[in-house]
Amino acid sequence: MYELHIADADAFGPAAADLLLGLLPDACLGLPTGHTPLPLYAELRRRGAAAWRLVMLDEYLGEARFQAWLREAIVAPLGIPEERFLPMPAAAAPGACEDFERRLRTWGGCDLQFLGLGANGHIGFNEPGSERDSRTRVVTLTPATARANAGYWPNAPVPEQAVTQGIGTILEARRHCLLVRGAAKAAILAAALRGPVTSAVPASFLQFSPALTVVADSAAAAGLGR
Ligand code: F6R
């Protein structure tokens, strides 16, 4: 079961941002990077300063690029202090992933985890084959994901590996919001929400979410039927 909000163009960011209205002021939010959430972050910047705690979803291995991106897009503009921002480790130091999970547990977990959707069904960087009980770990990006991400930083090659919250970690959030834009994601969104739950489509594990809201534009929602 999921709740679907269809929002096009300028309505997309406000529709996603409105999900925060029912949360406590210091709610813990999990945040993705990528193209899809840009209107959400623009809207949150427009709404101004907040007391949220922010948790990263994933990061490239060896380069804290997504952390820098999130700091610029939302952490700094909203005035979130350092102690309210939980970065994903960019180094494969022993225990780094376990330490991230421990800190997330200390924070009480995410109240609302925002997610984008990969064209191959990934959430975070849980590529096809990722299991339901996977935890925060180092993963290898598929060539398709590396190609899709090449546009984020055109002058810097995409690292082969990343660090991501696992599916099991993501599912521990109390609520999830899947953000999806564009016709190219319509088929995979339908497979994730209406198809069988399978590690071949990692986003299908969101069918186990305790509360899933999908914010999609009409092009992405075209495969969902009524
Ligand atoms: C990035 C992330 C990825 C993206 C996905 C879609 O932090 O978690 O799962 O959400 O690759 O990327 P865009 O939004 O650029 O299409």
For 5-41, the pLDDT digits (tens) are 999 999 999 999 999 999 999 999 999 999 999 999 9
Q: Which helix (H) or strand (E) holds 146?
A: helix 143-149
3 is catalytic: no
CA-based nearest residue to 2, from 107, 135, 115, 125: 115
pLDDT of residue 226: 66
Rounded Cα distance, 160 and 31, in Å:
22
| Cβ contact 85:68 at 8 Å | no
155 catalytically annotated: no
Among 12, 29, 35, 36, which is best to mutate for testing ligand 1, by the most ligand atoms less than 8 A from CB?
36
Q: Which residue has the tokens 């055109």?
A: 154
What's the 22 CA to ligand 1 centre distance in angstroms?
Answer: 25
Query: Is the predicted pLDDT of residue 156 greater than 80, yes or no?
Result: yes
User: Does 74 sit in the ligand 1 pocket, CB within 6 Å?
Assistant: no
- Across the chain, mean pLDDT equals 97
Mutate which of 12, 117, 176 to test ligand 1's pocket (most atoms within 8 Å of Cβ)?
117
- Digit-coded pLDDT (tens) for 36-55: 999 999 999 999 999 999 99
**Residue 150 in contact with residue 185, Cβ under 8 Å?**
no
pLDDT in tens, 95-148: 999 999 999 999 999 999 999 999 999 999 999 999 999 999 999 999 999 999
122: annotated active-site residue: yes
Atom 2 of ligand 1: nearest residue by CA position: 124
Could you tell me if the CB of 124 is within 6 A of ligand 1? yes
